[in-house]
Structure 1
Amino acid sequence: MGHGWRGGREPGGTGPDGTARLAADAYVYGSALIRQMSAVRAFLQQGYGTLGPTPFNDFAHAEGPATPAAHVPGAAPDLVDALAQIDLSGGPVRLHVPDTGGEYYVLQFVDAWSNTFAYVGSRATGTREGDWLLVPPGWAGTVPDVETGVIDAPTSVVSLVGRIACHGPEDLPRVRALQQELTLTHLGDRPHRTGVPAPDSDVPVALGFFERMRVWTADFPPAPADLDHQARFQPLGLLEEGLSPYVSPEPALVEALTRGLEMGRARVAAASRFPERPEAWYAEPHLHDYNLDHFGVGTLGSPWWQVPDREAAYLVRAVAARRALWEPHGYEAMSASAVRDARGHRFDGAHGYLLRLDPPPPVGAFWSLSVYELPGNHLVAGPAERYAIGSRTPGLVYEGGGAVTLRIARERPREAGRAANWLPAPSGGFRLVMRMYAPEQAVLDRTYALPAVERDSP
């Protein structure tokens, strides 16, 4: 390896401005890696959301679905989270999944670069009991006969993001029994890591991003197809091994990298902005289509689910990591949000609203509608303790032909039939989120469209 750029003219004669532009490209390329591995490290040390800190190769389980008390923005109130960080540096890990009796669940496998490379669950592999062997890159061992299948991990650290459907308090005993049977077993012949590789603590804070990228890129190499693009960053010191080039950098390098960091952040922030006036419902079924290399169990590798240009995929990956880290592909679960009614007015708890679904969303699992108060994006607290309504809601009243009208209002309707289809709203502004689990093709290709929400007449 060389020794990186130390000031003066950058190789190629582009100078400090060229170095800043190159650093901006490096930020776009590496920001998903930094967000992903920072989240892994934080989970090991502090926990995540309502889940407490948990060591590698062990699950942390939520006590139940999200509620307003959790104060987790945008949390789904019909799923129970299960999260594990898996380290394969000591060898394979066995995942045991219980029989869920036909009920929806998903286990999503995410590598160090935030690529979702496999799914186990009702859509992907069914709901029967099974054992899956998760193996590290380059593993060439013997697979035990008892294994249901093998999942090849692209990197030696993997996030396993689990979600188990829960249809109300009465369903919690079933979910908790499943949690007890969902296990990970380290089968390797060597000890695994106990933490994430640490960057050099002597590096100035201003260059912390590049130091983490240098260390984690070396420990978690990208897909071979990315290596040529990554090699461009050699002049920045990002491919240096051993002593960090950022411990005692030249002032010119610090200035160029700092400017590049700001430029890269601005580029990702601009690409992350939502439309000013989106259509009635806004969805991004292809936000997580940046994985172009690793298509394991349960993934769909067709061109429809891939960003066609590799360099464009780096920016999509950065945006997805910034906005929705650990969210699944659209074909696993898709959400659509709305903040305005059919006349273009923002939702306000001073009014009631109607959403007539004729037909309801076509899904392989279930659909549900939730309300989130704005600002804050939190579930709405209230005595009814009803945070979602959907196809699994007991007593939901359908019309002839299968249509259903949902009522969103601050006050509970007096008529029993209307109250059965009621979702409480806050007193002020709010947004609606429709979640569709295992959506059918009509949802994905948008031949099925959610109707606009109408303001209810007094």
Structure 2
Amino acid sequence: MQLEKAPRLILASLSILLSGSTWANFTATPEEARGIAKEAYLYGFPVVEMYKTLYTQAVDTTSENFKAPFNKIGNTAKAFTAKDTAFVTPNADTPYSFIWMDLRAEPLVLTLPPIEEHRYYSVQLIDAYTQNFAYLGTRSTGNNGGHFMIAGPNWQGQQPVEMDRLVRSESNIAYALFRTQLFDDKDLAKVEQIQKGYKVETLSHYVKHKAPPAAPEVAWPKPTPTMSDTPDLFRYLNFMLAFAPAQDAEKDLLARFAKIGIEAGEPFKLTDFTADQRQALEDGISDAKAEFAEFKKTKVDTHEVSSGDFFGTRDHLNGNYLYRYAGANMGIFGNSSEEANYIGYFVDKDGQPVDASKHDYTLHFDKGALPPADAFWSLTMYDGKNKLLVANPLNRYLINSRMLPDLKLDADGGLTLYVQQKAPAEDLQSNWLPAPDGPFYGVLRLYLPKPEVASGQWKMPLLNKVGP
């Protein structure tokens, strides 16, 4: 009997090998796989969400969101509107410039022009994990401009003596996101002129040396509609991890992920998994989403944690992948706390989710208690369903500190903003922030926040529901 079974087992094993099944690298039990999938989803979601933006801005030349090919700069000499869909929760105060950086062959040199002292600007440098590894600009390097070299993890060359700073990225694919403050519509021409002064070039071009061999061509996989919500996410994660060498602190974690087929540069084919294995991955993703939903309800909506916890360097995040996930889910590419503070308005003062189809709302600042920021502040409206700016008859997406001379103050010198779907009375419309006919959220941004924000001395106001 045993002799009869042996050949069948050998044939079955050969069949698995010849079919290319991933059983060989899916070694976890279904129960173990569920737990690993939950961890891997939280870990990988920001990476894959970043890839979606990379693809639409730097790869897909037919996309309406395409900005420029790799290692070239794309400028948008206007603030974002409801028509811009490249990433969720964009700001509409600062026209963007974009550089998707491929650092495999050699570093890039970013040149920034001198900018007038009273105008805020920044260059946020983001690695493949959505970690903010450095900043250039008003706060970090000043408004005098300069030359800044961005190098990948494997570069071993010499920094030119005239370079103002060398910055290292832990991934070979990275993002430079420029923000240039726009004062008003009349200021667009000046912003456009500033953007023309932003330059990017390879190090070899900058020092006028022979260029090194080009990096291999990349076959960028086309995004799918469900890639961020299903186990298909792990296929894109494997692809992106090939550009991000494993960090020593994460080698054990990545070895655990390998038990369900997550490995840098390796294929990930769901069709090769058993039904139980696929179900385990789906259940793990559901567990991760449930954990985030509870976290958002109990910690984010109650302001127990803030955006400053979600964005920053690897050291700042310190292995908290739920926080990194939260940042990517609610507003990817958010600033580090020292650069900007974000306050999300998802609920009213009674803790109820805000919905402009059911209620009108007000946000009141006492006299002398406007948001304390050295650069500027703004309150921006977003649709709760798609997380994008809200189309409205005024084309008004925000109210910010530059608009204060045109806003109507209360009798006591305070400021009340009207957050609602329909226009308020005519004498109040200067203070109206149009909301969608349904769920929404607002984000109060403080650029270069003053110390009293971090210390808690300044107390944020809450949204008040109007009427019963």
Give the TM-score of the pair, scaled to structure 1. 0.78
Q: Secondary structure at the match of 2:158?
A: coil
Letter in 2 for 1:326: F
Q: Aligned in 2, Cα 1:234/1:279: closer, same or farther, shift over 3 Å?
A: closer
**Contact 2:152–2:169 (Cα < 8 Å) also in 1:** yes
Letter in 2 for 1:230: L
Letter in 1 for 2:60: Q
Q: Secondary structure at the match of 1:60?
A: strand
Q: Aligned in 2, Cα 1:82/1:272: closer, same or farther, shift over 3 Å?
A: farther
Letter in 2 for 1:389: I
Which residue of structure 1 lines up, in the alignment, with residue 108 of structure 2?
A: 93
Q: Distance in 2 between matches of 1:7 and 1:71?
A: 39
Q: Distance in 1 between matches of 2:77 and 2:388?
A: 18
Which residue of structure 2 lines up, in the alignment, with residue 353 of structure 1?
A: 362
Q: Aligned in 2, Cα 1:108/1:411: closer, same or farther, shift over 3 Å?
A: same
Q: Distance in 2 between matches of 1:144 and 1:445?
A: 41
Q: Aligned in 2, Cα 1:5/1:408: closer, same or farther, shift over 3 Å?
A: closer
Q: Secondary structure at the match of 2:307?
A: coil
Give deviations 1:226-251, integer Å, cap 9, x for gaps. Answer: 1122123444444487xx575698x6
Q: Distance in 1 between matches of 2:62 and 2:447?
A: 23
**More moved, 113-122 vs 284-293:** 284-293
Q: Aligned in 2, Cα 1:192/1:111: closer, same or farther, shift over 3 Å?
A: farther
Q: Give 1 or 2: higher helix fraction.
A: 2
Which residue of structure 2 lines up, in the alignment, with residue 297 of structure 1?
A: none
The answer to whether the aligner puts 1:321 opposite 2:332 as a matched pair is no
Any gaps of 5 or more consecutive residues in structure 1?
A: 294-304
Q: Distance in 2 between matches of 1:275 and 1:76?
A: 24
Q: Distance in 2 between matches of 1:196 and 1:288?
A: 31
The count of residues paired between Structure 1 and Structure 2 equals 428
Letter in 2 for 1:321: A
Which residue of structure 2 lines up, in the alignment, with residue 75 of structure 1?
A: 90
**How does 1:103-142 map onto structure 2 within 5 Å?**
103-142=119-158
Which residue of structure 2 lines up, in the alignment, with residue 220 of structure 1?
A: 244
Q: Distance in 1 between matches of 2:24 and 2:426?
A: 76
Same amino acid, percent of matched pairs: 24
Any gaps of 5 or more consecutive residues in structure 2?
A: 1-16, 205-210
Q: Distance in 1 between matches of 2:21 and 2:171?
A: 29
**Contact 2:71–2:101 (Cα < 8 Å) also in 1:** yes
Give deviations 1:171-229, integer Å, cap 9, x for gaps. Answer: 111110111111110124225458645579xxxx9975444444433442132221122
Q: Aligned in 2, Cα 1:421/1:280: closer, same or farther, shift over 3 Å?
A: farther
Q: Aligned in 2, Cα 1:284/1:58: closer, same or farther, shift over 3 Å?
A: same
Q: Distance in 2 between matches of 1:29 and 1:78?
A: 30
**Contact 1:22–1:260 (Cα < 8 Å) also in 2:** no
Letter in 2 for 1:275: K
Which residue of structure 2 lines up, in the alignment, with residue 288 of structure 1?
A: 310
Q: Distance in 1 between matches of 2:33 and 2:245?
A: 23
Q: Aligned in 2, Cα 1:179/1:361: closer, same or farther, shift over 3 Å?
A: same
Q: 1:43 aligns with which of 57, 72, 82?
A: 57
**Contact 2:56–2:65 (Cα < 8 Å) also in 1:** no
Q: Aligned in 2, Cα 1:61/1:335: closer, same or farther, shift over 3 Å?
A: same
Shift in Å at residue 137 of structure 1? 1.5
Give deviations 1:57-84, integer Å, cap 9, x for gaps. Answer: 1122223112334467533221212111
What is the alpha-carbon root mean square deviation over aligned residues? Answer: 3.9
